[in-house]
Chain A
């Protein structure tokens, strides 16, 4: 009697699982057709609207973030790039439209699930005065832990790795407050790396830094992408840095995508005029494009 019931339940579950698998395959195939040849996007933004009160900030933004690439979001102040960044990192919720992370609507992921797949380096950061580099980097393991759980071997390994990649191993016992600005920014990147995600967001990672540290941070970001295959999405202010370090740029204006594509192609005197409202010369040195941003 009982066995029979269990059997029936088993059958039903199996059937449902089959249906789900079929649906999933269908959906993926459907997506594949509309994507660029064979590439599955890491993230997908569909028809996104957002407003602060009556002030409409985003008016129907749709875009795709290619997996394994460096994508830079750029645009003038107030173009909506920070809002887009906040929406894509679950710090704001869209009024209309959806954001997908490998096919899943991020609205259906809780913060912890999201943090297991996406790491974010915020623009402005603070830490307590006496926390050491190692302890701060260890915070990056938070989304992979249950409450009160100690650190596992996996945690230790990833913390070591994150400090090594960012050249912080020798500073591990130093208080973060005693580091230079560039080193401090590397600590925040290391914390995000310890999350061990395939996607890394950075919000204006070079602000507050002098030029030497700016380049150092951007080279680090490039290394993370090239050597570890991490998909990078960042906001940058400097156009030349965006051209040099990105595989793909997305230019926003008045809450809409104005230009997007390979920076060498889409950044022109015209697109800059439209994006920023200023006439700047564009030149080529050694085959690389430079905007005369002075």
Chain B
């Protein structure tokens, strides 16, 4: 009699816990869904605000009318001057944030960021080389930037490999590779008199003078990169397991690592070639993303793309209003905000802050 009571109590407790688990799961799913909706609304609102911030202003109906129905001088000017910049901000933001997610999965390191570990500066150095010495090949800048990014990544990966990848060693080696390429770019700029606008634009992340042509250069690469990233989200999830365990599930871990790294380098390099070196974006966005929607890459990658687009556009919009008529580039805003954030992450993290 007594025994069955105890058993019943245990069963009841198990059922309660199970119900609690289910409630938790639903709550998390709801949180993720709300985060997505809010992010889409915020992005749309910011887009409209960014269109309207500046000396020219149009109402929402004027904007729609001017774009799709009949010619409106103000709308046309905005379309030619502000739209490319807004599009580039969003595309580059999405690309860099997703690139960060992928690097973090491949390197098993939540602190990996294409800016911090030198991928972006490798890409920018290659782009600067082309601008300085072979301007005729300007059209192929993204390809060269990609090669530069691949070289930087190969350097970081091979130099931090010591019977395994220590998270902190990757960051340290990355910082060194980063400063080397940044130094090379600056040296090249100085040797040429220090006034090559193209070089400065890449190094400082200046996107003031961007045109629709730049959007057309960036968009297809980013689209391809994002689609590939989404295809490989399942594999990113498997990389969270120990390598041996992933292998025992029939996954060729090394091959998967290489493929995902190439996608990540592609996304980071192309956006660097057009929008310049942006640090910390690929770190902050995925980190907050994990808190909001969890670490399942099938959800985290699309969310980070949206959030990245939002964050970059926000930084750019703030940058051009904060000290108008002067502009502070989005990359500088990101550094100012991202630096302290990175330090907070380092200090709060139990695993990496030792």
Chain A residues packing against B (C-beta within 8 Å)? 89-91, 110-116, 119-120, 122, 124-132, 135, 139-140, 142-143, 147-148, 170-174, 188, 192, 195
Give the shortest distance, in Å, between A182 (CB) and chain B (any CB): 15
> Judging by beta carbons under 8 Å apart, are A120 and B21 in contact?
no
Give the shortest distance, in Å, between B67 (CB) and chain A (any CB): 36
Most central of A111, A112, A148, A192 by chain B CB within 10 Å? A111
- Taken together as a complex, chains A and B put the C-alpha atoms of A222 and B247 apart, in Å, by 25
Instruction: Report chain A residues within 8 Å CB of B244.
Output: 91, 120, 122
Instruction: Report chain A residues within 8 Å CB of B234.
Output: 147-148
- 10 residue pairs bridging A and B, Cβ less than 8 Å apart: A89-B248, A111-B252, A122-B245, A128-B237, A129-B295, A130-B295, A147-B234, A173-B24, A173-B25, A192-B248
Q: CB within 8 Å of A: which of B14-38?
A: 14-15, 17-18, 21-22, 24-25, 28
Give the shortest distance, in Å, between A31 (CB) and chain B (any CB): 27
Q: Take A170-B15, A173-B21 as given contacts and tell me if A115 and B248 are in contact as well, using a CB distance cutoff of 8 Å.
A: yes
> Judging by beta carbons under 8 Å apart, are B296 and A131 in contact?
yes
Whether, in the assembled complex, B167 has its beta carbon less than 8 Å from a beta carbon of chain A, the answer is no
Most central of B22, B234, B245 by chain A CB within 10 Å? B245
Give the shortest distance, in Å, between A188 (CB) and chain B (any CB): 8
Instruction: Report chain A residues within 8 Å CB of B241.
Output: 125-127, 139
> Judging by beta carbons under 8 Å apart, are A143 and B250 in contact?
yes
Other-chain contact of B14, A112, A170, A188, A192 (Cβ < 8 Å): A170
Whether, in the assembled complex, B294 has its beta carbon less than 8 Å from a beta carbon of chain A, the answer is yes
> Judging by beta carbons under 8 Å apart, are B15 and A116 in contact?
no
> Judging by beta carbons under 8 Å apart, are A128 and B18 in contact?
no
Sorted from nearest, which 8 A-B pairs have the closest CB atoms? A115-B250, A143-B250, A112-B250, A173-B21, A120-B248, A142-B249, A128-B240, A170-B18
Instruction: Report chain B residues within 8 Å CB of A170.
Output: 14-15, 17-18
Instruction: Report chain A residues within 8 Å CB of B251.
Output: 111, 142
> Judging by beta carbons under 8 Å apart, are A122 and B242 in contact?
yes
**Contacts across chains A and B counted by CB atoms under 8 Å:** 81
Q: Take A127-B240, A131-B296, A174-B21 as given contacts and tell me if A148 and B231 are in contact as well, using a CB distance cutoff of 8 Å.
A: yes
Most central of B15, B17, B249 by chain A CB within 10 Å? B249
Most central of A89, A142, A192 by chain B CB within 10 Å? A142
- Taken together as a complex, chains A and B put the C-alpha atoms of A120 and B251 apart, in Å, by 13
> Judging by beta carbons under 8 Å apart, are B14 and A131 in contact?
no
Instruction: Report chain B residues within 8 Å CB of A89.
Output: 248
Whether, in the assembled complex, B238 has its beta carbon less than 8 Å from a beta carbon of chain A, the answer is yes
Find the A residue at minimum CB distance from B233.
A148
Give the shortest distance, in Å, between A5 (CB) and chain B (any CB): 40
Q: CB within 8 Å of A: which of B218-252?
A: 231, 234, 237-238, 240-242, 244-245, 247-252
- Taken together as a complex, chains A and B put the C-alpha atoms of A120 and B248 apart, in Å, by 6
Give the shortest distance, in Å, between A162 (CB) and chain B (any CB): 14
- Taken together as a complex, chains A and B put the C-alpha atoms of A115 and B238 apart, in Å, by 15
- Taken together as a complex, chains A and B put the C-alpha atoms of A250 and B124 apart, in Å, by 59
Other-chain contact of A90, B25, B28, B247 (Cβ < 8 Å): B247
- Taken together as a complex, chains A and B put the C-alpha atoms of A110 and B249 apart, in Å, by 11
Find the A residue at minimum CB distance from B243.
A91
Find the B residue at minimum CB distance from A118.
B248
- Taken together as a complex, chains A and B put the C-alpha atoms of A21 and B15 apart, in Å, by 56
Give the shortest distance, in Å, between B63 (CB) and chain A (any CB): 39
Most central of A112, A119, A173 by chain B CB within 10 Å? A173
Find the A residue at minimum CB distance from B240.
A128
Other-chain contact of B22, A111, A120, A173, A195 (Cβ < 8 Å): A173
- Taken together as a complex, chains A and B put the C-alpha atoms of A142 and B14 apart, in Å, by 30
Instruction: Report chain A residues within 8 Å CB of B24.
Output: 173
Find the B residue at minimum CB distance from A120.
B248
> Judging by beta carbons under 8 Å apart, are B21 and A139 in contact?
no
- Taken together as a complex, chains A and B put the C-alpha atoms of A195 and B231 apart, in Å, by 23
Find the A residue at minimum CB distance from B108.
A126
> Judging by beta carbons under 8 Å apart, are B245 and A142 in contact?
no
- Taken together as a complex, chains A and B put the C-alpha atoms of A142 and B245 apart, in Å, by 12
Most central of B234, B250, B294, B295 by chain A CB within 10 Å? B250
Task: Add 14 more A-B contacts to A113-B250, A173-B21 (CB < 8 A).
Answer: A111-B250, A111-B251, A125-B241, A126-B240, A126-B241, A127-B240, A132-B21, A140-B249, A143-B249, A148-B234, A170-B17, A172-B21, A174-B17, A192-B248
Instruction: Report chain A residues within 8 Å CB of B21.
Output: 132, 171-174
> Judging by beta carbons under 8 Å apart, are A128 and B295 in contact?
yes
Give the shortest distance, in Å, between A174 (CB) and chain B (any CB): 5
> Judging by beta carbons under 8 Å apart, are B18 and A139 in contact?
no
Instruction: Report chain B residues within 8 Å CB of A124.
Output: 242
Give the shortest distance, in Å, between A160 (CB) and chain B (any CB): 15
Give the shortest distance, in Å, between B7 (CB) and chain A (any CB): 15
Instruction: Report chain A residues within 8 Å CB of B240.
Output: 126-128, 131
Q: Take A115-B250, A122-B248 as given contacts and tell me if A142 and B231 are in contact as well, using a CB distance cutoff of 8 Å.
A: no
- Taken together as a complex, chains A and B put the C-alpha atoms of A140 and B252 apart, in Å, by 15
Find the A residue at minimum CB distance from B253.
A111
Find the B residue at minimum CB distance from A113.
B250
Instruction: Report chain B residues within 8 Å CB of A90.
Output: 247
Find the B residue at minimum CB distance from A132.
B25
Instruction: Report chain A residues within 8 Å CB of B237.
Output: 128, 139
> Judging by beta carbons under 8 Å apart, are A171 and B18 in contact?
yes
